[in-house]
Amino acid sequence: MSSTRTIKVNGIELFVREQGEGPLVVLCHGWPELSYSWRHQIVALAEAGYRVVAPDMRGFGRSQAPADIAAYSIFDTVGDMVALVEALGEDTAVIIGHDWGAPVAWHAALFRPDMFTAVAGLSVPPPFRGRSLPLETFHAGGIENFYWQYFQTPGVAEAELERDVALTMRTMLARGFSDPQSLFVAPDKGFLGAANPALPRPAWLSEADLAEFIAAYRTSGFRGGLNWYRNIDRNWELTAPWQDAQIRQPSLFIAGSADAVVTGLIGAKRVQDMARVLPDLRRKLIIDGAGHWIQQECAAEVNAALIAFLREVAPAR
């Protein structure tokens, strides 16, 4: 059974769930999620012979949420994972990330190949650093209503998402990003659109699971996680030294075929071209019919793929 504690790292306190002994595996969740999103993987990977640690990422859940928007850059979020590995008394780790946690994992592998010896990304492909600021690129292309843009002004998305946290979390987890139109914000509708309180709960999400997310976000609010989006252009500027860089460690990619993040305009091309960034890509697993919350929705398939990958790249002692 996993235990929890709070660890001081990189100037903040991170709440972590941990279980098992063996080579270290760090699990980075996305938005709007928690370390709890990895509940199925923590147990399975620990039973397979690994020391598994899943933090509530900076700004989420029971971890600290700095007030400054600039404190959520890719350097800060990767810095947290570097400091976490060191705080755990380890020199190396395999890092795995989902959604926003995937860019953290990919960049951790890019920035610190000495520490992160293998990497897996779920639902978000590896970084392709374009030639111009991401938000400017949307604007230049005539796109003004992508959800990244809607999240930029502090307070706007917070007010919408915090109005009814239970409805927000039910809508987000039940709907996910299965509809490409869900990535675009209709005028006067907000990110959630016409949220339906009677939206059926998916089979993979119990009422107890849903209650866990609702309780956490009622306490924390949404600002910490939204601040990650407010660093998208800043991250582009900070990562200039890694233009066209490759992640050479062994890598794995997993996503669902019904996830608009990987089937949409940007994602589909990145999935197709990812071997350019990942020369040692061991497997690209696209699970037929699965949506965005892949490690919760398809726990058995994801666990099997992760354990097979870990046995290749970091055999349990």
User: What is the pLDDT, as a whole number, of residue 172?
Assistant: 94
Q: CATH number of the domain at 29, please.
A: 3.40.50.1820
CA gap 121, 98 in Å, rounded: 6
CA gap 282, 266 in Å, rounded: 23
User: What is the pLDDT, as a whole number, of residue 145?
Assistant: 93
pLDDT < 70 stretches in the chain: none
User: What is the pLDDT, as a whole number, of residue 300?
Assistant: 98
Classify residue 185 by burial, with Cβ atoms within 10 Å: 0-12, 13-18, 19+: buried
pTM greater than 0.85:
yes
Number of domains in the chain: 1
Bridge partners of 287, per DSSP, are: 256
Using DSSP, state whether 304 is helix, strand or coil. Answer: helix
Domain of residue 56, residue span? 3-313
CA gap 45, 77 in Å, rounded: 23
User: What is the pLDDT, as a whole number, of residue 274?
Assistant: 95
Backbone angles phi, psi at 95, to 5 degrees: -115, 135
pLDDT in tens, 240-252: 999 999 999 999 9
What's the order of all strands across the beta sheet hosting 3-9? Answer: 3-9, 12-19, 51-55, 24-28, 93-98, 116-122, 251-256, 281-287
- The catalytic residue positions are 99, 292
User: What is the pLDDT, as a whole number, of residue 196?
Assistant: 84
